[in-house]
Amino acid sequence: MDGGVTVVTNPIVSVRLTRTISSFEVPLRFNRGISIAELKRKLEMVVGASSSSMDLELFSVSDKFLQKMDDDDALLGSYPVDDNCRIHVTDTSGQMNEFTDVSKVEKYELPDDVYGKRTDSARSFMKKHRVGHFNEEEMAKKKAELAAHEEEQKAAADAISVGSRCKVQVVGHPTKLGTVMYVGTTDFKPGYWVGVKYDEPLGKHDGTVNGKQYFECENKYGGFVKPLSVSVGDFPEEDFGLDEM
């Protein structure tokens, strides 16, 4: 015995899997000795997409973006994969969306006047029992709550200035740092929105939505969030190249 220390790494790692079309996390276990190409093949039945159209991204236990897993020949264990890390799958072919996009399904719609005369319909039941939008008091209360919430969003927007450093926290998503590029209303959705240029490529666009440019940044670095999800403060940009010159 030479008194040295032997480090034993568990060959099996437990990870959390997420997909573009779902915020649900799926716990899975893999051998660190498989290649990324083999990992993608194993994920085909889980995510419903071809391995050739998968992009994998690795996030830490605290959901901080670490790196892309884009070398199919590399071993899973060659990446900094620890138990409870998260692997996010993006389907570049759009196949996964085909199975969830109900707009592509042909529908039969009963004429409104015919449906209104039926006594066995959901509308008839709701009218009789004053449910949903047929309950005027409840609808008025909900309308007031929405108005109050929108006032909160407006007040939060008024306190945010373009050019400020910020932290974005949205339920179900990792915390992101960035710079405020736009504050105000938009054409794509009602209410007040904050356009952010993220420090990392964790956004959805380059500042342009539905053909209208609200601000400029590199593609995948831009995003819009509600003002109450944005905290303005002294959040310095992280140096992701500390090991490089």
The tens-digit pLDDT sequence of the chain (245 residues) is 455 544 446 789 999 999 877 668 889 999 999 999 999 999 988 888 888 888 999 999 999 999 999 999 999 999 999 999 999 999 887 655 544 555 555 666 767 676 666 776 676 666 666 655 556 666 777 888 888 888 999 999 999 999 999 999 998 889 999 999 999 999 999 999 999 999 999 999 999 999 999 999 999 999 999 999 999 998 887 655 444 44
> If we measure between CA atoms, which residue out of 238, 225, 237, 241 comes closest to residue 165?
237
Q: Which pLDDT score is estimated for 245? A: 40
Burial of 123 (0-12, 13-18, 19+ CB in 10 A): middle
Q: At CA 151, angle to CA 184 and CA 156, rounded to 5?
A: 55
Q: Which pLDDT score is estimated for 244? A: 43
Q: At CA 217, angle to CA 187 and CA 154, rounded to 5?
A: 40
Q: Which pLDDT score is estimated for 135? A: 63
Q: Which pLDDT score is estimated for 242? A: 45
Q: At CA 208, angle to CA 204 and CA 210, rounded to 5?
A: 95
Helix/strand/coil for 178 = strand
Structure-token pair, residue 245: 């010159």
pTM of structure = 0.44
Q: Which pLDDT score is estimated for 8? A: 46
